[in-house]
Structures are given as structure tokens and as C-alpha cells.
């Protein structure tokens, strides 16, 4: 793994130059009961098959009820899209890709918070994972944050008003 990034300051504007890529190796993959099911149905159960070389890394994971799953959306085309229009209704504003969870993004990294149903050796059975069958998994982390003796869950937050017009 080799990463070289140069940060240069020019007249108050920072130019970040990405001169090298980062190599990430999948730690496992997602297996759905039915490859054609609606991945947005948060009640569906799916499995995360962890590579045998990392199965020790799951020790004690049953003590957590919820996990973040970080995965690579490998069915996404390698587009350099930075803007999109959320939803299918007219009148929606154009927003930047980092202001959305849309899968077409510079790095198609997916992040979903799932419920851990149970562990079966190197397999995690989870509920609510909205990733396609066969998707490579990059990392798994427990939820929520633990810092200096307390749990951090954000319950006061601001969101865009236009989202209230979608899915109603």
C-alpha cells in the first residue's frame, strides 16, 4: 500500500493532488437469499461471508446489536459524476454527490448500519443491508461510537427541506 498526496497552498486556495491510488482488499462478500429481492426493504435478512483469514476478527461481535458495514458498490459504472437531482419529481434541486447517498460517486463506497441477527462462524447474518448480492465488503465496525466513557448517538440534526417532498 502506497499513498502519496501533496497539499500545496496557492494564494489562499488549497490544491490537493492525488498522485497515487490506495489498494483495498475485500474482507468478504454479501450473499442475499434472493439476488433479485428489493435491497431497500430494510426487513430483509442477508449474510456477510467473511474471508476465513479474517474470521478471528469477528470474536465477540455478538456483544453488539448494530454494525456499520462498509462495502464497494462494484456494479456502479466508473462515472465522474459530481452533481445529481434527487428523486424522480420535477422541481427537485440539483445537489452535489457528497450531499447524497447516491451510489454513483468518485469512490463507490457503500455504508449501511445493520442489525446483527447472529453470527455463524465466519458468517454474519444481518438485517437491513441494502447492498446487492455478491458485493465486496471492505470493513465492519461496531455502532455506536464510544468515547471517553460515553456513547455518541446524534439525535438532533438538520436535513434538507426538499427531501420531505420525496417518497410521500
Site for a second copy in 47-86 (CB under 8 A): 49-61, 63-68, 70, 72, 74, 78, 80, 82-83
Binding residues with a second copy: total (CB under 8 A): 95
User: Per CB under 8 A, does 132 bind a second copy?
Assistant: no
User: Per CB under 8 A, does 45 bind a second copy?
Assistant: no
Cα–Cα distance measured from residue 113 to residue 122, given in angstroms and rounded to the nearest whole number:
19
Of 22, 34, 43, 90, which lies in the binding site for a second copy, with binding defined by CB under 8 A? 22
Query: What burial class does residue 135 get, using C-beta atoms within 10 Å of its C-beta: 0-12 exposed, 13-18 middle, 19+ buried?
Result: buried
C-alpha cell at 153: 448517538
User: Per CB under 8 A, does 160 bind a second copy?
Assistant: yes
Q: In sequence order, what DSSP letters do the residues of 53-90 get, joined into one string?
A: GGGGGGTTGGG-SEEEEEEE-TTS------EE--SSST
User: Per CB under 8 A, does 109 bind a second copy?
Assistant: yes
Instruction: Tell me how many degrees the CA angle 154-46-139 measures, rounded to the nearest 5.
Output: 55
Q: Give the nearest distance from C-beta 99 to a second copy in angstroms.
A: 4
Decide: 152 and 79 in contact? Cβ < 8 Å. Answer: no
Nearer to a second copy, 50 or 90 (CB): 50
Q: Give the nearest distance from C-beta 49 to a second copy in angstroms.
A: 5
Nearer to a second copy, 36 or 121 (CB): 121
User: Per CB under 8 A, does 125 bind a second copy?
Assistant: no
Cα–Cα distance measured from residue 107 to residue 39, given in angstroms and rounded to the nearest whole number:
20
User: Per CB under 8 A, does 140 bind a second copy?
Assistant: yes
* Residues linked to residue 160 through DSSP beta bridges, in sequence order: none
User: Per CB under 8 A, does 157 bind a second copy?
Assistant: yes
Eight-state DSSP code of residue 52:
G
User: Per CB under 8 A, does 18 bind a second copy?
Assistant: yes
User: Per CB under 8 A, does 7 bind a second copy?
Assistant: yes
Amino acid at each position: 500500500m502506497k499513498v502519496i498526496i501533496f497539499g500545496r497552498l496557492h494564494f489562499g486556495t488549497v490544491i490537493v493532488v492525488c498522485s497515487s491510488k490506495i489498494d483495498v482488499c475485500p474482507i468478504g462478500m454479501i450473499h442475499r437469499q434472493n439476488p433479485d429481492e428489493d435491497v431497500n426493504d430494510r426487513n430483509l435478512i442477508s449474510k456477510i461471508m467473511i474471508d476465513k483469514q479474517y474470521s478471528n476478527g469477528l470474536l465477540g461481535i455478538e456483544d453488539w446489536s448494530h454494525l456499520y458495514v462498509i462495502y464497494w458498490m462494484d456494479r456502479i459504472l466508473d462515472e465522474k459524476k459530481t452533481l445529481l437531482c434527487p428523486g424522480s419529481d420535477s422541481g427537485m434541486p440539483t445537489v452535489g454527490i457528497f450531499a447524497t447517498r447516491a451510489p454513483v460517486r468518485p469512490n463507490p463506497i457503500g455504508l449501511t448500519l445493520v442489525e446483527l441477527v447472529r453470527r455463524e462462524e465466519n458468517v454474519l447474518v444481518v438485517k437491513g443491508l441494502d447492498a446487492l448480492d455478491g458485493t465486496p465488503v471492505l470493513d465492519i465496525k461496531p455502532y455506536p461510537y464510544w468515547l471517553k466513557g460515553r456513547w455518541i448517538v446524534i439525535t438532533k440534526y438538520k436535513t434538507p427541506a426538499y427531501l420531505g417532498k420525496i417518497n410521500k
